[in-house]
Amino acid sequence: MRVISGTYKGRALKAVPGTSTRPTTDKVKESIFNMVGPYFDGGDGLDLYAGSGGLGIEALSRGFDRIVFVDRDFKAIQTVKNNLQTLGIQKRAEVYRNDADRALHALVKRGLTFDAIFLDPPYREQKLEALLSIVDKANMLTDKGFILTEHAKEVVLPEQVGELLRTRQEIYGVTGVTIYRKRGNGDG
């Protein structure tokens, strides 16, 4: 695993030990960022199922200011912290061990909004529609922001969840990627 582009291009990232996480492949990561960027002029992001932190770190490398990393797995959190430390970017990140629902509710209480939300849950535990609904109801996505979901290719997410509109859907091997934006941002 490595950072694909930007400030930290080519830098190696450690994977979470064991088989509890499924890292996003370099090919899929490159495609994802070409769909939504590929580079950014600042912004805050949320990597909700962080795993090794690869998506959030890629966003930092490509110009995001700060990323909040959340994962419920202890090994994943340690890996994120190690990867951030290796790159010297700990001050541009918040890292929390928590499950997705609790983390979202805690972030809502803090009044945080995000320019990018990365949702890459374990394929066997797809709760994407419920998570999208929480994000929509809490108005956590900025007007210019996007939500990037990664899921099994068989998963078909709804065209709309509240004010969030599906703007793109692609398949890469066994992986599906669906992007949402707020109504009025990228819907036509």
Query: What pLDDT digit, counting tens, does each position of 23-34 carry?
Result: 677 788 888 899
Compute CA distances 147 → 48, 116, 131, 163, 177, whole Å: 11, 6, 11, 12, 10
Domains belonging to the chain, first-starting first, are 26-34+49-149+160-182 (3.40.50.150)
- Tokens for 71, please give them: 């994962």
pTM score over 0.85: yes
Question: What is the per-residue pLDDT across 130-142, written as a single tens digit (0 to 9) for each?
Answer: 999 999 999 999 9
For residue range 110-133, list pLDDT tens digits in order: 999 999 999 988 776 678 999 999
Per-chain mean pLDDT for the chain: 92
Using one digit for the tens of pLDDT, what is the confidence trace for 147-162?
Answer: 999 999 999 899 999 9
